[in-house]
Every structure is written in structure tokens, then in C-alpha cells.
Structure 1
């Protein structure tokens, strides 16, 4: 018989690992250029030599997110450098990290933020965020469906962009007249 949906919090180390200890900020002027992505609160900030983490992780903005309504959640795989503006977490055996990434995109972080002008998600509040997860097989199915949807969405966006360029080209071609054919 299949188990139902479980509820826990991001601080539950039976299901999640918070890998913040490896984070290390480096000023832009001191970074050594390389091929490894250097993540900040809102995405890749640079490419550097060296790395702080290696594996599959979800990065959650600690501070400096562009929008509190659409909180910055990133998915990182392989070697990367995380600065101190992101929390670095991943699921353990019963929690698919990519499922966690998709799930966290549906969470309102506003109740967990502190500070005025620059909202901050402290580790103390991060660990209180509730998460729901079904059995691992269901998580894997959800991830597969959402990955397919994301791929189709990217293809559609690319196609729409190309169609727009094509339309501009033909519009300009139709509205451009040789100078000798213009009579006043």
C-alpha cells in the first residue's frame, strides 16, 4: 500500500541537508576567472576557478532577492561556488531535490522574511518553512512531467521569438521602397 503525502519542515535533517557551511563570498575584484558558476541570491553572478559545492542542490536567496512575491529559487547541479547570499539545501533519500526545487517555487516566503527594505530569510526562519512531499515514485513522476513542460515552454518561447523576428523582417521588406520608385 502506498503512503500518503508527508509534511515536514526544511530544518528536518531526516529528509534534508542544509549545506550552508561551504558558502564563501569573494569580491568580484578577487575572483579568479574560470568555468565554475558563482551563484548569488539571483542567479549566476560570475564564472570562477574552484568550487564550494558539488552535487544537486536548491539555492534559496538569503537576502537580495529581486522580488519577495516571486522569491529567488535556483537549481544547481555539478560543481558551483555559492556565496553567502544563498541558502544551499538538498533532499535526502526520500526527498527528490528537483521536486524540492519545483515545490519551493509554490511557497510564499513572505511570512518567513525579516528586515525592512532588504528582506532577509535567516537560517532560523528557513528551517521553519513547511514542505509537503508524496512518496519518492510520485515525486519522480512529478519532476518528469514538470521537466517536460519546462522543455516545451522553452521551445515555444524560442519559436515565438523566431516568428517575431521573421515577421519584422517581412514587414520591413514590404514597407521598404527603392528610392527611384517614390514619386512626390
Structure 2
């Protein structure tokens, strides 16, 4: 109903219920997907965004266990969970554009973007589906790194749960709005992380500007009726 829909929006909950995600029949293979996409577009038009689950807009995969002694030296970065590649080997387990989230340890929740062959090990990877641009998803998850880091659980070596990550609610604007955000944030990101653009003080100022505009661009307020 309208009231339950608005309540879900106000709470920031996903609007894709079990009824809308039931397994399709043989004669209606794409029907649930079409209905979900139509509902998302309607909410984007009315409210400016649609609250969806990360699982609804991505295809997720988990890294593979590997040790340095089990591989040969090469040029493929091994993403072990830290902020930099752990080492380089001669094979990969994934290529193409995707977002990686570190799974365990101090860096759990660290978000990175990749568009090259890599070997993902202690982390989760997310590829974009048809209604989200992977670069937009990267910026949104990067903005929420503190939240992701706070989700880790367990004694000893804390870790993130893949099922809990999949239930993360994303406020998703239209693809055209996503691309507009990406264009602006890519430009600011380049200014912030290329030291050839200026002195350290100027770079720091650019970083603050980038973070300010990133939060503004990726935050959505409900339209007043």
C-alpha cells in the first residue's frame, strides 16, 4: 500500500519484498525482474531515489584462499584485504570492473575499485547489474566505509558477513543521475590523489572539497508532497 511504501522509504528500508522477488515460473522467466525494475524507476521518478538491497543490484562473489608459496611471481595483484596489493602472481581469478570489500582484520570494510585482472582472496567482490553503474556503487560504498568497518564481528580476527553485506540498503538514483555524480566525483578524485596538481596544502583542501561534494551528491532527501 501507499502508507507501507512511504514508511519503508522513511526508514530507509528496501522496497523489494519477498512477493516481488518470488521465483519466476517457466512462462514468466523475466517477469519478476521487469516488475522490480519498473518499481525502482517509479520510486526514482517520484522520490529521486529508490532504496534497494545491495544483493538486488549486484552479483557477488567471494575471494579464493591462496598462499604466496602456492603461486609464482608475476604482474597480477593479490588483494588480501589490505589497502595495497599484498604481492603479485602470474594468474588471476577475476577481471573486469567490480568493487572489492575487505573481509577481515583491521582493514575489514575497506572498499576498492578494480578494472584489471586481479586475484581476490580475503574479500568480497561485487559486479553491477543493469540498473546501477559500478563506479557509482564504488563511491557510495566508499562513503560508507566507517559503517562497513563497524559491521565486523567475531573475536580474534573480526570479519564481515557476506549475507549481512547483501542486506545493506542503497539509496539508488536514476542512471542519468548516477552518471552525473560519477563525472563530478571522478574529476574531484583525480584532483585529490594526483600530487602533480599542487602543494600538499592545496591537495588537502581539494580532499575536503571532494568529501563534501561526495556526501552531498550521494545523499537524498525525501521530496515533500
TM-score under structure 2 length normalisation? 0.62
8 Å contact from structure 2 (residues 76, 119) kept in 1: yes
**Superposition pairs of residues 65-84 of structure 1, within 5 angstroms:** 65-66=106-107, 71-83=109-121
- Distance in 1 of aligned mates of 2:138 and 2:106: 16
d(CA) in 1 for partners of 2:143 and 2:198? 27
Q: Relative contact order (alpha carbons < 8 A, sep ≥ 6): 1 or 2 greater?
A: 1
Distance 2:88 2:149 in 1: 31
Deviation at 1:158, TM superposition (A): 6.1
Report the secondary structure of 1:52's partner residue: coil
Aligned to 1:10: 54
- Equivalences, count: 154
Q: CA deviation at 1:58?
A: 0.4
Give the structure with the higher percent helix.
Answer: 2
Deviation (angstroms), 1:56: 0.4
| Structure 1 contact 113–125 (Cα < 8 Å) conserved | no
* Alignment pair present for 1:38 and 2:78: yes
1:174 alignment partner in structure 2: none
Long gaps (5+) in structure 2: 1-41, 203-225
- Give the C-alpha shift of residue 115 in structure 1: 1.1
Structure 2 distance, partners of 1:32, 1:130, is 40
Query: CA contact under 8 A between 2:104 and 2:152: conserved in structure 1?
Result: no
CA distance in 1, matches of 2:139, 2:196: 20
Contact map agreement 1:5 1:134 (CA 8 A) in 2? yes
- Between Structure 1 and Structure 2, the one with more strand by share is 1
Q: Indicate the residue corresponding to 2:169 in structure 1.
A: 130
- Relative to the length of structure 1, the TM-score reads 0.75
Asked whether the 8 Å contact 1:9–1:128 carries over to 2, the reply is yes
Counterparts of residues 99-138 of structure 1 (less than 5 Å)? 99-107=136-144, 108-110=147-149, 112-138=151-177
Matched, 1:92 2:129: yes
- Which one of the candidate residues 165, 171, 178 is aligned to 1:139? 178
2:96 to 51, 55, 74: 55
Query: Secondary structure at the residue paired with 2:116?
Result: strand
